[in-house]
Amino acid sequence: MPPRRHRSQARGQVRRAIWPAVAGAALAGIVGGASIAHLSAPPSPLPPPAPTELDRHTLQSLSPAEAAELARFPGTVDLSGLATISPEVAASLARHDGPLLLDGVWLIADDAANALDAHAGALSLAALLARSRSAETLSPAIARLLIRQAGPLALDRLTTLDPPVAELLCRHPDGLHLPALEAPSTAVADLLAATPGSLSLDGLTTIPTPSLARRLLADGRRDFSLVSTIGDEAAALLAAPPAPLRLDNFAAEAQAAPLLAPARARLLARHAGPLAFERLASLDAESAAALASHPGRLEFATLADPALDVLGALEPHAGPLALPAVARLDPAAAAALARHRGPIELTGLRAIESAALATSLLAAGRRDFSRVETLAPDAAAALAGCGEPLDLSGLVDPADDVAAALARHPGPLRLSALAAASTSATSLPAGRAALLARHDGALVLPWLEALDSPALAARLIAEGTRDFDRLVRLAPEVEALLASAAAPSPSLAGLQRLATASLARCLHEAGRSDFSRLESISDEAAAILATAPGPLLLGALAARAETATALSAPLAALLAHHPAELRLDALAALDAGAAAALEPHASLLVLQALRELEPEAEAALARHCGPVRIERLEALGTAALAARLVADGRREYGSLHRLSSAAAAELARVSGALYLEGLVTLDAATAEALAGHSGTLGLDGIAAIDDEPAARLAAHRGPLSLAGLRRISSTARETLKRHDGPLFLDGTVGITTPR
């Protein structure tokens, strides 16, 4: 038996339904059956009104005969205590004309339900209605009874619906609530669409017909999250409204499919959430154009090479566009993608060959370019215009113009791959070096031998680097930076070239004396180092000097500090300034190629602190240099072609033999000076001698060799006969007598 509250509610509903008719009929009978006279006559006593309700709710069972008896009652019959009725009882009760309350009946067979449906009056079946909420299936007989109940019909667990049952239920005027119905057939969907009352299908997973789609939209439905299957015509209808739709399951299936038809694309464009197509093998321009109206994020995970017309169709899309599989774009495709209205996400991009594309990526907020390996120069310039830190960790071998463009970036750059690749480098192009200076990580350049970038040098100095022993060459600007670095002074043991006075002064003030690897030096730097108080190790510089054809005074002054032998074998000329600068050199000075010297240079060499060897000197003019050569033990002067008398006088002081085979002419003064020599005098290079020089030579007191003499006058011959010592004239062919 149903609770008392349910019976009262049901009874009240029936009364409200039948009372106006009963009252109206009674009033019509009173008024219609009385005359005006009767109305004006004194009223006679009325019989008591007949009862309108027969309450038998305590009955729990009923026989057909009892049911037939109750059916004759003209008013409401309350049998809410019955839990079930047989077909026979139902047939008897169906003959009742008034309201019938069977609110306790929850179990009824179809034949009993069919019999009961013949009841012409109001019928209340509260328990049956409540039980039907949990039913998964429904027979037509029960459906006929349910649609006679007032108010919305909620069948919460009904999962299947046959057309006959659907046709019955859809007649219910007060609304249908079918939350468990998922996939109605086409026929059922059309019936549901025509329901006169409200329609609720919260669990719907399939929309097979346009009529159902139209009905749902008309009811204001926008959430189709559970719907995964939609017919093409229904999809076209759903795609038409501009308002966004929730299409979570439909979108999920479409996003996992390898193909996308334009009709589906148009519907997906209405989806309120992001779209990520994970398996799409290709995309045509029509579908792309449809998706371009989607307001949210679009991702095409597998599109590695989208066609140009597809990119063009996507241009109007205002939301983010993600193409993670795209590694490289040709300039036309990059330009098309750059015109995309919304932000661009190209996380798999390996190359950026368009400045417009780089600018678009920056505008979209992208700062991570860690997978990019190649940049066009204009793209690099566009990235450099961004004032925020950038991650370019994948850049390994940028071209010089690319590196130079990126180096103009004002902030830090993450250049991990480039930094790692540069670890073993011995030299760096200027652009790359300047770019590395922007790296926001550690820089390890242990093998670097050349440093031409002031920016990189400043970076290394700022990090506290002072060990530059492997560097052999520095740009002048770098030298200046190192010279101005805070203490301690940089260590440059391997330096081979020194250009600036500032670095030379820095090294000099640091007490540096070992420049054994220095191969070249500017005059300004040499002048600074030459002020050192003691010897300097200049092995490489001295070795290079052996092949030098010219020598400046500052370099000579520096070489004078070399503690070992100094050979200037290729030097054909030595000016007085350089010669004077060499004076402090304390070791042997060899000048093999020198042929002739100015008097001032000869005088300076004469003052050289160490021995001097000038093997090929062709002219000797000063007594000072001659005396120095004698003092150094020089005896043979086969290369001398010219000899001043003053120099000859000094050479004559040599004890022992004196050989001057290179002299080809001999004047009287020089002959007289040489005659003062007391040992063997060799003048085998003279082929002809005049009378006066011969007369002066005759005074020589030692052996005299004129083996090269080819022509001699009789006077000279007679004069030489007076020579007091052996006279060698082995080369004389004949003696001529002047005519």
**Tens digit of pLDDT for each residue in 73-95?**
999 999 999 999 999 999 999 99
Q: Which of 223-237, 318-332, 404-418, 460-474 has the lowest mean pLDDT?
A: 460-474
What is d(CA 265, CA 268) in angstroms, rounded to the nearest whole number?
Answer: 5
Rounded average pLDDT over 507-528: 94
What is d(CA 217, CA 201) in angstroms, rounded to the nearest whole number?
Answer: 12
The reported pLDDT for the residue numbered 485 is: 86
Q: Which of 240-244, 272-276, 540-544, 612-616 has the lowest mean pLDDT?
A: 240-244
Residues 6+ apart with CB under 8 A from 606: 622, 624, 625, 627, 628
Residue 67 has pLDDT above 90, yes or no: yes
Peptide bond into 446 cis (omega under 30): no
* Percentage of the chain modeled with pLDDT above 90: 81
Rounded average pLDDT over 332-343: 92
User: What mean pLDDT value characterizes the chain?
Assistant: 89
271: helix, strand or coil: strand
Which residues lie across from 345 on neighbouring strands? 322
Per-residue pLDDT tens for 95-134?
999 999 999 999 999 999 999 999 999 999 999 999 999 9
| DSSP secondary structure code for residue 450 in this structure | E
| DSSP secondary structure code for residue 409 in this structure | -
Rounded average pLDDT over 252-261: 93
Model confidence at 729, pLDDT cuts 50, 70, 90, reads: confident
What is d(CA 212, CA 194) in angstroms, rounded to the nearest whole number?
Answer: 8
Residue 400 has pLDDT above 70, yes or no: yes
Rounded average pLDDT over 697-704: 92
The reported pLDDT for the residue numbered 52 is: 86
375: helix, strand or coil: strand
What is d(CA 250, CA 201) in angstroms, rounded to the nearest whole number?
Answer: 16
The reported pLDDT for the residue numbered 23 is: 35
The reported pLDDT for the residue numbered 22 is: 35
The reported pLDDT for the residue numbered 10 is: 45
Per-residue pLDDT tens for 11-57?
444 444 433 333 333 333 333 333 333 334 555 666 666 678 999 99
Residue 458 has pLDDT above 70, yes or no: yes
Model confidence at 61, pLDDT cuts 50, 70, 90, reads: very high
The reported pLDDT for the residue numbered 50 is: 67
Residue 290 has pLDDT above 50, yes or no: yes
Q: Hey, what's the torsion of the CAs at 538, 544, 545, 549, to 10 degrees?
A: -160
Sequence letter at residue 531: T
* Residue spans of alpha helices (H) in 194-284: 210-218, 232-239, 248-255, 262-268
Residue 171 has pLDDT above 50, yes or no: yes
The reported pLDDT for the residue numbered 638 is: 85
Q: What is the pTM of this model?
A: 0.64
Residues 6+ apart with CB under 8 A from 386: 362, 367, 409
Question: Bigger pLDDT: 165 or 490?
Answer: 165
The reported pLDDT for the residue numbered 27 is: 31
What is d(CA 317, CA 340) in angstroms, rounded to the nearest whole number?
Answer: 7
Residue 233 has pLDDT above 90, yes or no: yes
The reported pLDDT for the residue numbered 45 is: 64
Kindly report the number of other CB atoms within 10 A of residue 232's CB atom.
11
What is d(CA 564, CA 587) in angstroms, rounded to the nearest whole number?
Answer: 6
Per-residue pLDDT tens for 686-696?
999 999 999 99
Place of tokens 């479409």: 254
Q: Which of 31-45, 493-507, 515-529, 664-678 has the lowest mean pLDDT?
A: 31-45
Under 8 Å between Cβ of 618 and 597: no
